[in-house]
Amino acid sequence: MLIKGYELLVCPKSEPLTEFFSEGEEVVLRCNSDITESDRVVWHRNTGHVDYVIMDKELFVQKNYPKDLIGRLNASNPPYYLVLSNLSLADSGEYWCAVLYEGVCLSVTKTVLVEWDPFGINSTFYRVYSSLMACALLGMVCVLITVNLKTRRRDQASLKTRRTAAQRQRSSREEEEEGGESDEGRGEMKESVETK
């Protein structure tokens, strides 16, 4: 008869740490907790492909390592830290260390392994590119504002010139009309003088 046992661990919430790696490198995963000899340390991992226990202090023997980690995983004894070597994309995922005492989870340390992409969102290239694009966008906005202001000033100057020209035309017409009226008055005066 085969009996499977399941264990539900409720651990305190913790913010995950992020570790970047390149293929072939190694990484050290640490349990950030004060661990005593009586504590039980359990290492889990959750990649896109698997979610299971890597190592349990109570079962600290080489044959219990997952098959894909045999020869690539070294651990302290007790397992306060793990060293994963010859990393590949398949190793990306979340790893966590749970520290238990008498069935109670005291702490958990989460580490997210992310493959380093030289052109990815976390790369220097992306940061520099983003900064340059932000500067370029800011420059374009400044140019648009400047052009808009110059166009507005030009339109206002043109409107002022047209108003001034219209006022001059009106003034000259009024002067002509006044001049024409005074000439007519003078002509009438001459006629009346001549008739006398």
Buried b (16+ CB within 10 A) or exposed e, 11-28: beeeeeeebebeeeeebe
Residue 129 has pLDDT above 50, yes or no: yes
Rounded distance, CA 98 to CA 41, Å? 6
Residue 120 has pLDDT above 80, yes or no: no
Domain ranges of the chain: 17-115, 118-196
In degrees and rounded to multiples of 5, residue 115 shows phi and psi of -70, 135
The mean per-residue pLDDT over the stretch 150-179 comes to 82
Give yes or no for a contact between 9 and 101, defined as CB atoms under 8 angstroms apart.
no
The whole-chain average pLDDT of the chain stands at 78
The mean per-residue pLDDT over the stretch 110-139 comes to 77
CATH architecture of the region 17-115: Sandwich (2.60)
The mean per-residue pLDDT over the stretch 160-180 comes to 80
Helices (H), 96-123: none
Residues 88-100 have pLDDT tens digits of 888 888 998 888 8
Residues 61-96 have pLDDT tens digits of 444 667 788 888 888 877 788 898 999 888 888 998
Q: Give the DSSP letter string of 17-42.
A: EEEEE-TT--EEEE--S---TT-EEE
